[in-house]
């Protein structure tokens, strides 16, 4: 049974990619066909293919835990030993034990060595400025260098009744299994959803770390009045300072993914134009959707020069912190925030971790030894991507985008005007019922353009047909 909205975790030691969560697409309309909870692992064979194996579930190596349900639209990342899944939602399309869409709370941890998955935290995400502890459709990134065992940062959407600001950063201490928050400053991004992020260690003497964010749907506004989200913002830690890349904006992009190979290039794949609301309502006629100005739906952003590039460079330089961030850190008094939210947060960011794991986020990190054959890729003119793409794109981004293109763009959460149903529903995970979707909603098209994500129109927005083949290393 095809699912959408899944998480991918990369176990580098065993060369496995785990697939977890997700929901039954709207192509299949019967709750009886919702598959039982399971987890699968993909093993690449080095020849452009590989094998899937169920590791947890009815035919898996181990039984799927009865106290865990299948979530979707949570944030996910991994380190060298475990995969992490934060928040999300649960419905009859993801698990047979519930009848309406509800909120999944807490953080799930999946250990790679013994295939053990458990809920390792409650739903208190350390967000004192928001009355509802909900995290759905946001992004998370694993950062190994802070704290004694690394941290996880949460960004973006959380509460379906309000757009979450980026001035309050949520932090999870993996060693102490505690949530914290810290106020950020600088050029704050406008609140938005459906953006993408990548994280990469900085190169200043301040042991800094940068999180790049691109695109999204600003303030849940769809259609012609959608603010242009062709924007790149950078959150630099440990200063908790936001910066904005200055370049001529082109077009908005949302529901895309971002990736990096630890060079200075951010690879942006797929997405749709949130300014074209016919895509979300399903009312666009086949063949009338605007052509993606990026060939193959892939764009390349230079994270050091802070500008889009015309092509991917296989021998690109390693990432170097941009000059505007370097100038900021030249004033040593700005290494840390002017005020810490708590002594515990201060200690967390002044402690250097011994972890050496890869950085990972809700967008798949591409292997640093992978390469993409040079392709002409002007930002606003058509061209062609040659063969020889990479494993991370194949297994990570293309997997998601192709699956969504075949089935759906998924259910939209409600906007800040949605009303909550305070009834508490108990399933295996602590959850809180919220009826921002009618129980009978089947997505024939939107009655309200903010309510739901529709199925894709007949013509996919992202075109990948010109790719000759993929090669796995």
Give CA–CA dist 221/353, Å, rounded: 40
One DSSP character per residue, 27-60 reads TS--GGGPPPS-EEEEEE-SSS-EEEEEEESTTS
Helix ranges, 154-298 (H): 277-281
Rounded Cα–Cα distance for residues 170 and 123 (Å): 12
Which residues is 43 bridged to in the sheet?
51
Report the C-alpha gap between 173 and 153 in whole angstroms. Answer: 9
Q: In a structure prediction context, what are the per-residue pLDDT tens digits for the chain, which is 473 residues long?
A: 678 889 999 999 999 999 999 998 777 666 668 889 999 999 999 898 999 999 999 999 999 999 999 999 899 999 999 999 998 889 988 998 888 888 888 899 999 999 999 988 766 665 544 445 667 778 999 999 999 999 999 998 655 556 678 999 999 999 999 999 999 999 999 988 889 999 999 999 888 999 999 999 888 777 777 788 999 999 999 999 999 999 999 888 999 999 998 799 999 999 988 887 766 655 545 555 678 889 889 999 999 999 999 889 999 999 999 999 999 999 878 899 999 999 999 999 998 766 555 566 655 544 433 333 333 333 333 333 333 334 444 444 444 444 443 333 434 443 333 333 323 233 333 333 332 332 222 322 323 333 333 333 333 333 333 333 333 33
Whether the full predicted model's pTM is greater than 0.85, yes or no, is no
End-to-end CA distance of the chain: 29
Supply the DSSP string of 354-394, one letter for each residue: ---PPPEESSPPPPTT------B--TTS-----S-B-HHII
CA 350, 264, 390, 71 torsion-angle sign: positive
Rounded distance, CA 229 to CA 225, Å?
A: 12
Would you say 345 and 171 are in contact if contact means Cβ atoms under 8 Å apart?
yes
Pairwise CA distance, residues 71 & 90, whole Å: 5
The two tokens of residue 109 are 């941890």
CB 372 within 8 A of CB 388: yes
The DSSP code sequence of 106-117 is: SEEEEETTTTEE
- Beta strands 107-111; 82-86: pairing state: antiparallel
């Amino acid at each position: 049974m095809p699912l959408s909205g899944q998480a991918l975790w990369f176990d580098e030691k065993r060369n496995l990619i785990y697939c977890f969560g997700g929901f039954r697409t709207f192509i299949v309309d019967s709750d009886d066909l919702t598959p039982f909870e399971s987890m699968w692992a993909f093993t690449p064979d080095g020849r452009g293919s590989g094998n899937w194996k169920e590791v947890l579930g009815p035919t898996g190596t181990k039984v799927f835990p009865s106290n865990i349900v299948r979530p979707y639209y949570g944030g996910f990342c991994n380190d060298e030993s475990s995969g992490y899944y934060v928040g999300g939602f649960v419905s009859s399309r993801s698990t047979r034990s519930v009848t309406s869409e509800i909120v999944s709370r807490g953080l799930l941890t999946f250990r790679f060595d013994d295939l053990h998955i458990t809920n390792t935290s409650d739903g208190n995400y350390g967000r004192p400025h928001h009355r509802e502890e909900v995290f759905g459709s946001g992004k998370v990134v694993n950062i190994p260098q802070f704290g004694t065992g690394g941290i996880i940062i949460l960004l973006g959407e959380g509460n379906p009744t309000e757009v979450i600001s980026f001035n309050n950063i949520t932090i999870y201490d993996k060693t102490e299994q505690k949530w914290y928050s810290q106020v950020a400053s600088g050029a704050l991004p406008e609140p938005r959803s459906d953006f993408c992020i990548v994280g990469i260690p900085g190169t200043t003497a301040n042991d800094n770390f940068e999180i790049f964010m691109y695109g999204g749907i600003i303030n849940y506004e769809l259609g012609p009045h959608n603010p242009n989200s062709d924007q790149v913002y950078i959150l630099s830690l440990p200063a908790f300072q936001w910066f904005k890349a200055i370049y001529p904006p082109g077009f908005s992009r949302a529901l895309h993914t971002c990736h990096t190979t630890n060079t200075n290039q951010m690879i942006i794949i797929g997405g749709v134009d949130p300014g074209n609301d016919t895509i979300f309502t399903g009312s666009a006629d086949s063949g009338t959707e605007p052509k993606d100005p990026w060939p193959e739906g892939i764009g390349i952003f230079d994270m050091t020069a802070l500008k889009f590039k015309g092509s991917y460079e296989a021998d690109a330089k390693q990432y170097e912190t941009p000059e505007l961030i370097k100038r900021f850190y030249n004033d040593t008094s700005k290494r840390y925030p002017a005020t810490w939210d708590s002594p515990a947060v201060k200690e967390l960011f002044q402690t250097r971790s011994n972890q050496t794991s890869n950085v990972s986020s809700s967008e798949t990190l591409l292997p640093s030894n992978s390469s993409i054959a040079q392709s002409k890729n002007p930002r606003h003119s058509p061209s062609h991507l040659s063969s020889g793409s990479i494993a991370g794109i194949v297994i990570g981004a293309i997997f998601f985008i192709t699956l969504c293109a075949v089935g759906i763009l998924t259910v939209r959460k409600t906007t800040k005007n949605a009303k909550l149903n305070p009834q508490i529903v108990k399933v295996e995970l602590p959850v809180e019922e919220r009826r921002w979707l009618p129980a009978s909603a089947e997505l024939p098209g939107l009655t309200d353009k903010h309510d739901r994500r529709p199925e894709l129109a007949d013509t996919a927005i992202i075109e990948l047909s010109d790719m000759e083949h993929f090669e796995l290393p």
